[in-house]
Amino acid sequence: MVLVMWMLSVWGASLALTVAVIVYAARLGRNEEEQIFLAESSRHERLEQEAIAARLGKIRPVKRVLMGFAGVMTVLVVVYFVINVFQQF
């Protein structure tokens, strides 16, 4: 029974952390615009967009790892409960 509580706790924490990173990336990326800056007068806007893109680039691997871990934990929880249902019969 202790194993189940730990498994559910890790699963819940991984889901919460994954949602937090996804929300953070969405909030950070809302100001990102895909445009080409041709004039030198728009250098400030180009630098802002590059900074946003750099931050999003740093978050992307963390987001993928957390999503993968949350997916694996979800599969483990579902498999555990399916096995538990079959053992009840």
For 83, the domain range is 2-88
Position 46 scores a pLDDT of: 77
The model's pTM:
0.77
Mean pLDDT of 54-81: 94
Q: Could you give the number of structural domains in the chain? A: 1
Instruction: Check: CB of residue 7 under 8 Å from CB of residue 80.
Output: yes
Query: Which three-class secondary structure state does DSSP give residue 55?
Result: helix
What pLDDT is stored for residue 35 in this prediction? 63
d(CA 58, CA 76): 29
